[in-house]
Amino acid sequence: MTAVDVSASRDYQVLVGAGLLDQAGERVRAVTKAQTAVIVAGDRVAPLYGERAAASLSAAGFRVLRHTIPHGEGSKSLAGYGELLGFLAENRVNRGDVLIALGGGVTGDLTGFAASTYQRGMDFVQIPTTLLAAVDSSVGGKTAIDLPTGKNQVGSFYQPALVLCDPETLNTLPEEEFRCGCAEVIKYGVLGNAPFFNELAKTPIREQIEHVITTCVGMKRDIVGQDEFDRGLRQMLNLGHSVGHAVEACSGFTVLHGQAVAIGMAVVTRAAYEQGLCFRNTLEALLDILDKYGLPTETDFSLEELAAAMLADKKLSGGVLRLIVPREIGRCEIMPVPAGEIKAWLRAGGLR
Ligand SMILES: NC(=O)c1ccc[n+]([C@@H]2O[C@H](COP(=O)([O-])OP(=O)(O)OC[C@H]3O[C@@H](n4cnc5c(N)ncnc54)[C@H](O)[C@@H]3O)[C@@H](O)[C@H]2O)c1
Ligand SMILES: [Zn+2]
């Protein structure tokens, strides 16, 4: 087992290791005096891992309650949030108790937001069961739900008390979801860790899963530690996401997030190469690794469609897009791109 210490508005540990799911009770007990532990899980994850988490928590002396939500982004909604709060209130859960998010980013974001607001804030623990949640969403304290007008429109910065990541739970993850997580893992290599990128190119992520998760969590910890509230450096984590979000939106969210991020990284790196901001070998290394992990590097959406979607993105503040641009593998820069120059970037990125 490996421990990563995170220091933010609240200090906590991210524990990564096989078998941690069955130790949930004692691990959670070590960080809280709560009497009741509420496990929130999706309807696909609950039958797989809910019972084991519940058994361990019961054995550690918690009164265990379980709230199951439909799988999918739709649960990260005002309705899903209201149902969870209603469940807590009806069961007389109080702010000294603890919520346990068992699942992917949807479960983690919803549960974290509920924890940050129910009775003005209670502890929560993340047990990520997707690769994306393990390397990204479970760490760093961004919680959110969606509004009909857009994703993550309501949320808070609220750190968990503990993150327990048992990589064995990833064995049941559908291949496509695993690949999406791989896109985020590759992102970490490109944005700040060339030796790690080379390891990913040489050895499949599955064969070095604990090392991969620990490395990504460590990098995210370092970034979040310097910019918890997303005012500067944390934007680096958006590599591939500006174009990626546009691809997701244009596809009506049929292109999965990780696939869209892969496309986004490829487009922005192609554009960087065309404009003399990186060498050809940087672009080639990126396209090679994305291909190796079965991730797409191209899109059929037109330049016009993508530009329109990017201009509508909430991250475009003051008419300027802060684009994350690779200069070489392991080194990226935040470049302010005025709205009027977005099309030129997309054209340089190979879009027509
Ligand atoms: N808070 C953050 O910092 C942050 C960062 C990135 C993404 N996010 C959010 O995360 C969400 C995406 O998260 P995700 O990619 O984990 O998707 P997800 O939570 O929807 O999970 C993907 C699918 O996998 C299933 N699943 C989960 N674990 C499984 C397992 N071990 N075995 C079998 N099936 C399993 C789920 O039921 C679901 O159908 C988005 O809402 C996004 O906005 C948040
Ligand atoms: Zn992402």
Tens digit of each residue's pLDDT, the chain (352 residues): 999 999 999 999 999 999 999 999 999 999 999 999 999 999 999 999 999 999 999 999 999 999 999 999 999 999 999 999 999 999 999 999 999 999 999 999 999 999 999 999 999 999 999 999 999 999 999 999 999 988 999 999 999 999 999 999 999 999 999 999 999 999 999 999 999 999 999 999 999 999 999 999 999 999 999 999 999 999 999 999 999 999 999 999 999 999 999 999 999 999 999 999 999 999 999 999 999 999 999 999 999 999 999 988 767 778 899 999 999 999 999 999 999 999 999 999 999 9
Nearest in space to 272 (alpha carbons), one of 334, 319, 340 = 334
Q: Are residues 113 and 180 in the same domain?
A: no
Q: How far is the CA of 57 from the centre of ligand 2 (A)?
A: 31
**Closest by Cα among 99, 107, 167, 161 to 135:** 167
Pocket lining: 31 vs ligand 1, CB cutoff 6 Å: no
**CATH number, position 203:** 1.20.1090.10
- Tell me what pLDDT residue 312 has: 86
Kindly state if the Cβ of 104 falls inside 6 Å of ligand 1.
yes
Residues 156 and 205 in one domain: no
**Total Cβ atoms within 10 A of residue 276:** 7
Residue 32 CB neighbour total at 10 angstroms: 18
Distance 221 CA to ligand 1 centre (A): 20
Taking the CA of residue 181 as reference, the ligand 1 atom at the shortest distance is 15
CATH classification at residue 152: 3.40.50.1970
**Ligand 1 atom nearest 112 alpha carbon:** 1
Q: How far is the CA of 130 from the centre of ligand 1 (A)?
A: 6
Q: Identify whether residues 105 and 241 lie together within a single domain.
A: no
Q: How far is the CA of 14 from the centre of ligand 2 (A)?
A: 19
Q: pLDDT value at position 319?
A: 87
pLDDT of residue 316: 75
Between CA 279 and CA 274 the distance in angstroms is 9
Ligand approaching nearest to the C-alpha of 151: 1
Residues 334-343 as b/e (b if ≥16 CB within 10 A, e otherwise) read ebebeeeebb
Residue 160 and residue 62 share a domain: yes
Measured over the CA atoms of residue 138, residue 141, residue 146 and residue 150, the dihedral's sign is negative
For the full predicted model, state whether its pTM sits above 0.85.
yes
Comparing C-alpha atoms, which of 60, 2, 36, 1 is closest to residue 221?
Answer: 2
Considering the domain architecture, whether residues 195 and 340 belong to the same structural domain is answered as: yes
Pair 167, 242 in one domain: no
| Closest-approaching ligand to the CA atom of 143 | 1
**What are the percentages of helix, strand and coil residues in the chain, rounded to 5?**
55, 20, 25
Per-residue pLDDT, 314:
67
Of the residues 135, 150, 172, the one at which a domain ends: 172
Question: 115, 148, 172: which is the final residue of a domain?
Answer: 172
- Looking at 112, 142, 172, the residue that finishes a domain is 172
- Report the SS3 class of residue 351: coil
Closest by alpha carbon to 234, among 166, 157, 289, 181?
A: 157
> Range of 138's domain?
2-172
Number of H helices, E strands in the chain: 14, 11
Looking at the fold, whether 301 and 239 belong to one and the same domain comes out as yes
192 pocket-lining for ligand 1 (C-beta < 6 Å): no
Q: How far is the CA of 56 from the centre of ligand 2 (A)?
A: 31
* Residue 206 alpha carbon to ligand 1 centre in Å: 18
Quote the CA–CA distance of 297 and 283 in Å, as a whole number: 11
19: left (phi over 0), alpha (psi -120 to 50) or beta: left
Residues 6 or more apart whose CB falls under 8 angstroms from that of 333 comprise 324, 325, 327
Of 137, 175, 234, 261, the residue with max ligand 1 atoms within 8 A of its CB, to mutate for a pocket test, comes to 137
Q: Residue 152: CB within 6 Å of ligand 1?
A: yes
Report the separation in Å between the CA atom of 90 and the middle of ligand 1, taken as the mean of its atom positions.
Answer: 27
